[in-house]
Amino acid sequence: MVTPYPPLRDGLASYAIQEVRVLIEAGHDVEVLSPNPSAAHHHLDLKGTRGSLALAKRLRHYDRVIIQYHPAMFLDEHATDLERVATAGALATALQVGGNVELRLHEFDVDLELRSRAEQVAMRGAWRAANRLSVHTEPERQRLAEVSRLPASRITLAEHGASFVRRTSLDRAAARSRLGLPLDARIFLSIGFIQPHKGFDRAVRAFAGLGAHGCRLEIVGSVRVEDPEYVRYAAQLRAAVEATDGASLHEGYTSDELFDVWIVASDALVLPYRWIWSSSVCERAMLYDRPVIATRVGGLEAQLADGSMIVADDHELATAMRSFVGVDVASAPPPEWKTAGPVDRDAVMDAVRLRAASRRSGHFDESALAPSAPVRRLRPLSLPEPRSARPGASFLKRAVRKATRWQIDPIVGQLNRLQQVVVEALEEEDRPESKPKQR
């Protein structure tokens, strides 16, 4: 099996180790190759054409190979269009000579990942070269069949939770006692890595007002990588939770067993994803018969079990949460403005002007005048991509980037953290309770 692997904290790594265990228990002799140092038997840098061709040499020695595929395993973050096409071609070669190879696609949105027509054609060759293609949901299969120009029957469905097993035997009361949660509260849970596409901020907004009805929203997770955008999002989420009665944020590493304890302790899971194809969290919720309230994205609707709810937007999310606990749905936040079908630029601008006029008439957003506003408007610092139109210059820039990133990246990260600290300090200073009282 070719896959990210523990102790890497990664959803794909967690998925893979469960399948490896099931295969071993079924009597198979399994070896794991990971792209990074890990508990796997073998390690190999899979990035670029050299990585795929090096992989080809190893695939021929096995009766069956499963590649848990995600583009980040094979493509460098700053790869040029030409490099992406070349990598796809090398991967096709590896699959062609590898024999009985299954390419299992995870979180692969062809509309986002394939940047050019040439790359789409090259990846089509890789998909055709695989002995077997598999995805987790029917929408993924139909979209992949359309882009790859393969019959849908050529693409199999791999049940996402087929290898999942329970990791705790606690009941709801025991789980809440362990976590220090009230036994009589109605508890919503959002759990997973803290990053913008998970949409945990949407859960906080939808939950607003439910704290007064004996409900709680528990958000559990951590920032997976110290990306400036992720760090910034975590800070914004933290501030939103602190301002919402009944909501709590539990940051930090969560073991597999503790992950399940949180699920058991909850009454329902809220998965307000902005983008995803399938969810391991959804599958683990079904292991413990916990209903899920999720947004209609990717193939998530196909994963939901009976008793779960699918919603289209933030207003429906708030309504669903209120309906679940028997609170008047009329108290849900009003729906946001949106268009149906293709976006009409004139309609968008009319809505912007209308909102601006309403704010000038007395509903102005005072946060725009806060002392921290100028600092908050600064975009996070990031390094330009090492690219050039001159022949050979891109290669030289990437080499310099790799040689110096250990010195430069910490500085960039520190500057972005400094910006966030300044914002927090200014906002803390501007709070009424922080200001000296006038005599």
Domains recognised in the chain with CATH numbers: 11-157 (no CATH), 172-331 (3.40.50.2000), 370-434 (no CATH)
How far is 196 from 193, CA to CA, in rounded Å? 10
CA angle 70, 249, 246 (to 5 degrees): 135
How far apart are the C-alpha atoms of 335 and 332, rounded to whole Å?
A: 9
| Neighbouring-strand partners of residue 34 | 43
Predicted confidence at residue 438, as pLDDT, reads 47
Give residue 85's Cα distance to chain centre.
Answer: 25
| pLDDT score, position 340 | 46
Summarize the confidence of residues 216-229 as an average pLDDT. 87
Q: Which residue has the tokens 């990942």?
A: 113
Angle at which helix 280-287 crosses helix 11-25, to 10 degrees, equals 50
Q: Give residue 81's pLDDT band: very low, low, confident or very high (50, 70, 90).
A: confident
Tell me the per-residue pLDDT of 36-71, one tens digit each, with 9 for 90 and over: 889 999 999 999 999 999 999 999 889 999 999 988
Asked if 347 and 236 count as a contact pair (C-beta separation under 8 A), the reply is no
Model-level pTM? 0.65
Q: Which residues, in sequence order, are bridge partners of residue 294? A: 271, 310
Residue 368 pLDDT more than 60? no
The DSSP H or E segment spanning 84 is: helix 81-97
233: β partners: none
The per-residue pLDDT of the chain, averaged, comes to 84
Tell me: pLDDT of 354 over 70. Answer: no
Residue 434: both structure tokens together: 């922080």
Distance CA(203)–CA(188), nearest Å, equals 9
pLDDT at 241 over 60: yes
Q: What is the pLDDT of residues 99-153, one digit of tens each?
A: 899 999 987 666 556 767 888 888 899 999 999 999 988 888 888 888 888 999 9
